[in-house]
Amino acid sequence: MELKSTNFIFSEKQNLYKGKVRDVYDVNDKIIMVATDRISAFDHVLHEAIPYKGQVLNQLSEYFLKATSEVVPNWLEAVPDPNVSVGKKCEPIRLEMVIRGYLVGHAWRTYKSGEKMICGVKMPEGMKEFEKFPSPIITPSFKALEGHDEDISREEILEQKLISDKDYAILEDYTYKLFERGTEMAMERGLLLVDTKYEFGYYNGEIILIDEIHTPDSSRYFYSEGYEEKLKNGEAPVQLSKEFVREWLMEHGFQGKEGQILPSLPRDFVELVSERYIELYERMTGIRFARAYSPNIEKRIEDNVLAYLQE
């Protein structure tokens, strides 16, 4: 049974925000984040939900948040249910700190068009798709309240006073440190962390990491085995990420552009996506994924969260 949407009442005084994938409950001084099985691509939520995707994202994010808590402070306090994380309520900073270790995705599409600048960062000449940058580059995006997030440069961020120079320096420092740690953890498991994004917020005046990290929704991975050979031969490395969902949509005429119709995923492809998510969890953690099957997943979540809040 997939979890497509929730509408819990955990408190008389609560706010509910439905993101593309998560339903976020603002209760007193806590944020209750429910990871649903929705999946998005090109800023559109697909018609189909992916079995166990929410559990994978929630537990994988928990794994990485705990593994990086000594590097950067974060919001997480408890995981009362396989699909739920609870933590500190923060004032979000409306920037996504995107960091790229390889020339792929949006960066490659920009590069291929002949434009070598992205978010104010100059990319080296003569690079090939999938090639590793000499050093990781940070390409921030501004989180729009509606519609697509927008590329933005460091200079524009500071000129528009979206954040102070001092605080932006902290965001950059935290981003590099998290990416370095994520890269090390990926390499230990035979993977290359290609690119990812981090979000931050203020808690009692301190900048801390919020949301998820290093999941297949926020990150892209290559298998390290065979990467160099495929790069040399001009072939695409084997990916372990959500990119293959985007590729399927593009093959079926959808890139989120005006006038395009969002296609429905066939059931066998939905099952394949589910297995890919589970594979990444097991590959990244070395832990066998335990499917938390429940005939009534909403009731399970509600009971577990209410029990946590009562404690």
Q: Domain residues of the chain, as ranges?
A: 14-89+287-310, 91-241
Question: pLDDT per residue over 174-190, tens digit each?
Answer: 999 999 999 999 999 99
What's residue 217's pLDDT? 84
Q: Place 311 in a pLDDT band, splitting at 50, 70 and 90.
A: confident
Contact 138, 94 (CB under 8 A): no
CB 60 within 8 A of CB 280: yes
- In 103-244, beta strands by DSSP E: 117-118, 121-122, 132-138, 141-142, 150-151, 191-203, 206-210, 219-223
Residues in the chain: 311
Pair 138, 177: CB distance under 8 Å = no
Mean pLDDT of 108-134: 97
**What pLDDT, in 10s, does the model give residues 197-233?**
999 999 999 999 999 999 988 899 999 999 999 999 9
Same fold, 14-89+287-310 and 91-241: no
Domain topology for 91-241: D-amino Acid Aminotransferase; Chain A, domain 1 (3.30.470)
Query: Residues 67-96: pLDDT tens digits?
Result: 999 999 999 999 999 999 999 999 999 999
Q: Give the sign of the dihedral formed by CA 242, CA 53, CA 137, CA 146.
A: positive
Q: Which CATH architecture does the domain made up of 14-89+287-310 adopt?
A: 2-Layer Sandwich (3.30)
